[in-house]
Amino acid sequence: MEPVTLTLMIGVGLAGAIAFIAGIIEDAESDAGSASNPNSQVQLAPQIGHIIRYYDKAIAGEPPQNGLWAAAACTIALLVSWRFVDLGIGQYYAIFFAAVVGAAIICLVQGCFGVFAHLSRMGSFAPFKQPLYWDSLLTPLPYSMGLAFLTALLLTLLAFVTGGLLGNPFAPPLLALIFGISLGSIASGTGDIQYGAERLYQHHIFGAGIPVSKMGDIDLKGEYGFRNSVDTPYFCIRLGGTVTAFAFGLIIFLDGWTRLFTFAGVWTSVILEAIVVAVLFIFLVWLEKFTRDSYGPYPGQEDL
């Protein structure tokens, strides 16, 4: 096997694996901070008289927020890694340690962001008699910061792997921005459905979407005591987190995988990607048929 192909194969596998883990962590981070679309339900709850103990740091969309963390961490990492190389540390060690430094700084920034976002959110609920519970902020905060650290670290490493081993010509900070925004929109579009439609509404019947008239009527009691934001990723990581990870990991892995072959010259990757898209579309139609056959129509709606 040619060394170039071997490097590419290692790069594809490593990028896919890092992307997979980043997907799980990012989804958990957004669930812990109610950072994506289900935050609308957390905000509605005090308005209909529910006193909540959720940590709510949703003052920016999940994709730009995540893109900012990743791009900032990667920029710091790139600058610090040059300094480490000047100090005589080997290139790969320099990148890894610099990525940790970048992610640690971003973790602190995310903590400040989270504290002020939560305080301002809860402050805006004052007309609805929602108190500011310190435990609802201080319990999930270190957890959320830890998840932000891991997300920023993994996306920084992913940017260096795709730039270094796979040969993407973009600078690592731009790659990190691209991955951050893409992963944010994927996590917001896949994993958060389980948070918004199931975890927040576990006292509602399973097997139906949440009617608009019920919105805001979220769960207030947890497995023990009041429901808080540390409980949420514990539940959502099992399906929502892994499915998000699968989506992001699959994109990075398949995109790299199509570049391992050369049977049709420069058009090989394009042909293979078109085939992959077609195969996944067939899966999508099959899944639709499977769910329709398995669940059947809603009672009383068979003749609509």
Q: Return the number of the residue (36 or 141) whose C-beta is nearest other proteins.
A: 36
Q: Return the number of the residue (94 or 186) whose C-beta is nearest other proteins.
A: 186
Residues 43-72 that bind other proteins (CB under 8 A): 61-64
3-state secondary structure of 192: helix
Q: Is 158 in the site for other proteins (CB under 8 A)?
A: no
Q: Is 274 in the site for other proteins (CB under 8 A)?
A: yes
Q: Is 104 in the site for other proteins (CB under 8 A)?
A: no
Copy the structure tokens of residue 95.
């990148």
Ordered DSSP codes for 140-177: HHHHHHHHHHHHHHHHHHHHHHHHHTS---S-HHHHHH
Q: Is 228 in the site for other proteins (CB under 8 A)?
A: no
Q: Is 7 in the site for other proteins (CB under 8 A)?
A: no
Q: Return the number of the residue (85 or 273) whose C-beta is nearest other proteins.
A: 273
Q: Is 178 in the site for other proteins (CB under 8 A)?
A: yes
Q: b/e string for 222-253 if b means 16 or more Cβ within 10 A?
A: beeebbbbbbbbebbbeebbbbbbbbbbbbbb
Q: Return the number of the residue (139 or 185) whose C-beta is nearest other proteins.
A: 185
Q: Which stretch binds other proteins (CB under 8 A): 46-54, 75-83, 126-134, 274-282?
A: 274-282
Q: Are 237 and 28 in contact (CB under 8 A)?
A: yes
Among 165, 195, 227, 231, binds other proteins (CB under 8 A): 195
- 213: amino acid identity, one letter: S
Who contacts 134 (Cβ-Cβ below 8 Å, separation ≥6)? none
